[in-house]
C-alpha cells in the first residue's frame, strides 16, 4: 500500500492546476491519476478561448482572476502557451439579447472589467471581415483572448512534477474506499493508495467518480464538435461569438480558423463521433457572417464533452456527505479559461479552509437547494 496526502482524479487542465497550486503552497505527497494521457479529455479538444464577459458575477470574478494569472503564466511557469489578448467580440442579433448585453456590461464594469459597446458601424470599421448586417450591437473586451490548451495543461503538469507531485498516466481510479464520512483510499490500476483528501477533477466522468464515493452530482456530459481549417495569413485578432446564432470562431497563431457550435438535439453521454451535419451547418452559417471563409478547406474535425451543471456555472467545493472529497467539475464549456483561478482557489480551500483571491463560496453544491441564476453566455 502507498500513502498520499491528496489524490487528484483527472489530468486535464483542472486537475493539473489544482496539483500545481497545492504543490506550490508546500503540500507534499500529492498524487494525480489520469486514466488516459495528459490533455486527452476536454482540455485538449477545446477552443482555447479565454473570456471575462459573463452574465453572472461569479464567472466574471473567476475569469478576471484567471486572466491576471494567464498574463503572468510565462513568467510564473516558464512556458509559452501562445497566449494572446486579442479580445472577444460578442454579437447581439435581437432586442432581447442586446438588452441583456447592456445589463451584462453594466455588471462587468462594476466588477472593474474594461468592456465596450459597439454599434454595427463601429463593428464594421474595426473588424471589417465581419458581416454585421443583422447585428444590433456588440460588446468587446480587449483583455479577453485565447491560448493553447495542450501547452497550458502540460505546463501545469510539468511544474507540478518538478514540485514533487507524482503523476500516473494510463491509470484509472476504479473505486474509492470510504469509512464513515471520509474517503480513506483510492483503488487504481496501480493498486491501492491511502489518502487524506480526494479531488474530483474528472471532467465528463464527474458523476461516475462522485458515485464511487457514494455521493451524487447534478452534472451531465454532452458531446461538442469543433473543426479547424487550413491556415491563412493572420488577420483576425478577437474570438468572435454569438449566443443566439450559436457559434464561436477564432484564428490560431498558426493561421487556421477554429470554430464550433452547440447542438440542442445532442443526447447526454460520452460520444466521440463526428457528423457531416455539423460541418454543413456551421459552414453555411459562418460563410454568411465571415465571407472570407468561402473556399477554405476543413483540415480536421473532432469532438469532446461539456460537463454541464444545472446553472452552467462550475461546481467547486466539498462533496455532499463526504468530508474530504472536493469537486472541481461541471465547467459547462468554460473550464480551460477558469482553470488558473480554480486551481488556486481550490488549493487554498484544501490547505487553509478559505480562499484569499476569489470567493467561491457561491459555487458549492448547496446553491442547488436555493433558486439558481443560470449563466446565459454559453454556446
Ligand atoms: C469542443 C469544445 C470546445 C471548448 N472550448 C472552450 C473554450 O474555448 N474555452 C474554455 O475555457 N473551455 C472550453 N471548453 C471546455 C473545456 O475544454 C473544459 O471545461 C475543460 O477542459 C475541463 O477541464 P477538466 O480538467 O475538468 O476536464 P478534462 O480535460 O476532460 O480532464 C478530465 C480527465 O479526467 C480523466 N478521468 C476521468 N475519470 C477518471 C478516472 N476514474 N481515473 C483517472 N482519470 C479519470 C479523464 O481521462 C480526463 O483526461 C470546450 C470544450 C469542448 C469539448
CATH for the stretch 2-46+150-218+311-369:
3.50.50.60
The 10s digit of each residue's pLDDT in 221-243 is: 999 999 999 999 999 999 999 99
* CA 345 to chain centroid: 15
CA of 278 from ligand 1 middle (Å) equals 21
The 10s digit of each residue's pLDDT in 239-296 is: 999 999 999 999 999 999 999 999 999 999 999 999 999 999 999 999 999 999 999 9
DSSP collapsed to 3 states, 113-175: CCCEEECHHHHHHHCCCCCCCCCCEEEEECCCEECCHHHHHHHHHHHHHHCCCEEECCCCEEE
* pLDDT of 371 over the 90 cut: no
* pLDDT of 205 over the 90 cut: yes
Residues of the chain with CATH 3.30.9.10: 220-308
Specify the ligand 1 atom closest to the Cα of 225. 1
Average pLDDT, the chain: 97
CA of 39 from ligand 1 middle (Å) equals 8
Residue 193: strand, helix, or coil: strand
* pLDDT of 148 over the 90 cut: yes
Q: What was the pLDDT predicted at 278?
A: 98
CA of 305 from ligand 1 middle (Å) equals 7
CA of 343 from ligand 1 middle (Å) equals 14
Burial class (CB in 10 A: 0-12, 13-18, 19+), 288: middle
- CA 140, 280, 134: angle at the middle one, nearest 5? 35
Picking from 335, 205, 218, 336, the residue whose alpha carbon sits closest to that of residue 270 is: 205
Report the pLDDT averaged over residues 142-146. Answer: 98
* pLDDT of 66 over the 90 cut: yes
Specify the ligand 1 atom closest to the Cα of 36. 47
**Radius of gyration for the alpha carbons in the chain, expressed in angstroms and rounded:** 20
Picking from 360, 363, 339, the residue whose alpha carbon sits closest to that of residue 157 is: 339
Picking from 242, 377, 366, 225, the residue whose alpha carbon sits closest to that of residue 306 is: 225
Report the pLDDT averaged over residues 86-100. Answer: 97
CA distance 286 to 130: 10
Torsion, CA 158, CA 162, CA 168, CA 173, rounded to 10:
-90
CA of 202 from ligand 1 middle (Å) equals 8
Torsion, CA 329, CA 38, CA 174, CA 207, rounded to 10:
20
Q: What was the pLDDT predicted at 142?
A: 98
CA distance 158 to 133: 47
How do strand 220-229 and strand 298-308 relate by DSSP bridges? antiparallel
* pLDDT of 115 over the 90 cut: yes
CA distance 241 to 146: 13
* CA 261 to chain centroid: 15
* pLDDT of 220 over the 90 cut: yes
The 10s digit of each residue's pLDDT in 13-57 is: 999 999 999 999 999 999 999 999 999 999 999 999 999 999 999
Per CATH, domain 220-308 is 3.40.710.10? no
CA distance 5 to 27: 8
* 337: Cα within 13 Å, side-chain hemisphere: 26
Residue 239: strand, helix, or coil: strand
CA of 225 from ligand 1 middle (Å) equals 14
In contact, 282 and 261? CB cutoff 8 Å:
yes
Mutation probe of ligand 1 site: the residue of 335, 341, 378 with most atoms within 8 A of C-beta: 335
Specify the ligand 1 atom closest to the Cα of 223. 53
Q: What was the pLDDT predicted at 1?
A: 78
Q: What was the pLDDT predicted at 218?
A: 97
List, in order, residues 6 or more apart from 342 with CB less than 8 Å away: 14, 17, 18, 62, 66, 314, 316, 328, 335, 360
CA of 328 from ligand 1 middle (Å) equals 11
Residue 258: strand, helix, or coil: strand
Specify the ligand 1 atom closest to the Cα of 239. 8
CA of 103 from ligand 1 middle (Å) equals 30
The 10s digit of each residue's pLDDT in 311-357 is: 999 999 999 999 999 999 999 999 999 999 999 999 999 999 999 99
- Where is average pLDDT lowest: 45-59, 199-213, 297-311, 363-377? 363-377
Picking from 43, 2, 328, the residue whose alpha carbon sits closest to that of residue 166 is: 2
Specify the ligand 1 atom closest to the Cα of 335. 19
- What single-letter DSSP state applies at residue 72? T
Q: What was the pLDDT predicted at 300?
A: 97
What cell does 259 get? 470554430
Picking from 279, 251, 305, 245, the residue whose alpha carbon sits closest to that of residue 90 is: 245
Report the pLDDT averaged over residues 145-152. Answer: 97
Closest C-alpha residue for ligand 1 atom 3: 46
Residues of the chain with CATH 3.50.50.60: 2-46+150-218+311-369
Residue 377: strand, helix, or coil: coil
Closest C-alpha residue for ligand 1 atom 38: 202
Specify the ligand 1 atom closest to the Cα of 15. 25
Q: What was the pLDDT predicted at 307?
A: 98
* CA 339 to chain centroid: 7
Closest C-alpha residue for ligand 1 atom 21: 43
Report the pLDDT averaged over residues 139-149. Answer: 97
Specify the ligand 1 atom closest to the Cα of 188. 42
Q: What was the pLDDT predicted at 372?
A: 87
- Per the confidence metrics, is the pTM higher than 0.95? yes
CA distance 255 to 172: 37
Q: What was the pLDDT predicted at 361?
A: 92
CA of 230 from ligand 1 middle (Å) equals 25
Pocket around ligand 1 at a 6 A CB cut-off: 9-15, 33-36, 40-43, 45-49, 172-173, 201-205, 209, 224, 226, 260, 304-306, 331, 333-337
CA of 59 from ligand 1 middle (Å) equals 18
Amino acid at each position: 500500500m502507498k500513502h498520499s496526502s491528496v489524490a487528484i482524479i483527472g489530468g486535464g487542465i483542472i486537475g493539473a492546476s489544482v496539483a500545481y497550486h497545492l504543490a506550490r503552497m508546500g503540500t507534499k505527497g500529492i498524487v494525480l491519476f489520469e486514466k488516459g494521457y495528459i490533455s486527452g479529455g476536454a482540455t485538449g479538444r477545446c477552443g482555447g478561448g479565454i473570456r471575462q464577459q459573463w452574465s453572472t458575477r461569479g464567472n466574471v470574478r473567476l475569469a478576471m482572476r484567471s486572466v491576471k494569472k494567464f498574463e503572468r503564466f510565462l513568467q510564473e511557469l516558464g512556458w509559452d502557451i501562445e497566449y494572446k489578448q486579442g479580445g472577444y467580440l460578442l454579437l447581439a442579433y435581437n432586442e432581447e439579447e442586446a438588452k441583456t448585453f447592456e445589463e451584462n456590461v453594466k455588471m462587468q464594469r462594476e466588477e472593474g472589467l474594461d468592456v465596450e459597446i459597439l454599434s454595427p458601424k463601429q463593428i464594421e470599421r474595426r473588424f471589417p471581415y465581419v458581416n454585421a448586417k443583422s447585428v444590433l450591437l456588440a460588446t468587446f473586451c480587449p483583455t479577453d483572448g485565447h491560448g493553447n490548451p495542450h501547452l497550458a495543461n502540460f505546463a501545469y503538469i510539468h511544474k507540478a512534477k518538478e514540485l514533487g507531485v507524482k503523476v500516473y498516466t494510463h491509470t484509472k481510479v476504479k473505486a474509492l474506499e470510504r469509512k464513515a464520512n471520509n474517503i480513506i483510499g483510492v483503488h487504481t490500476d496501480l493498486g491501492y493508495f491511502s489518502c487524506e483528501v480526494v479531488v474530483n477533477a474528472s471532467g465528463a466522468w464527474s458523476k461516475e467518480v462522485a458515485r464511487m464515493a457514494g455521493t451524487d452530482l447534478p452534472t451531465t456530459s454532452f458531446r461538442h464538435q469543433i473543426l479547424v481549417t487550413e491556415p491563412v495569413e493572420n488577420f483576425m485578432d478577437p474570438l468572435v461569438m454569438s449566443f443566439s446564432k450559436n457559434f464561436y470562431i477564432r484564428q490560431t497563431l498558426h493561421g487556421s480558423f477554429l470554430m464550433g457550435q452547440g447542438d440542442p438535439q445532442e443526447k447526454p453521454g460520452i460520444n466521440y463521433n463526428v457528423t457531416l451535419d455539423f460541418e454543413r451547418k456551421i459552414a453555411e452559417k459562418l460563410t454568411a457572417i465571415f465571407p472570407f471563409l468561402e473556399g477554405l478547406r476543413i483540415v480536421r474535425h473532432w469532438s469532446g464533452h461539456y460537463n454541464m451543471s444545472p446553472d452552467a456555472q462550475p461546481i467547486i467545493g466539498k462533496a455532499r456527505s463526504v468530508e474530504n472529497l472536493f469537486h472541481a467539475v461541471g465547467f459547462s464549456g468554460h473550464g480551460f479559461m477558469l482553470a488558473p483561478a480554480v486551481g488556486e482557489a481550490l488549493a487554498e480551500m484544501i490547505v487553509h479552509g478559505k480562499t484569499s483571491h476569489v470567493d467561491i463560496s457561491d459555487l458549492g453544491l448547496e446553491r442547488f437547494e436555493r433558486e439558481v441564476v443560470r449563466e446565459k453566455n454559453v454556446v
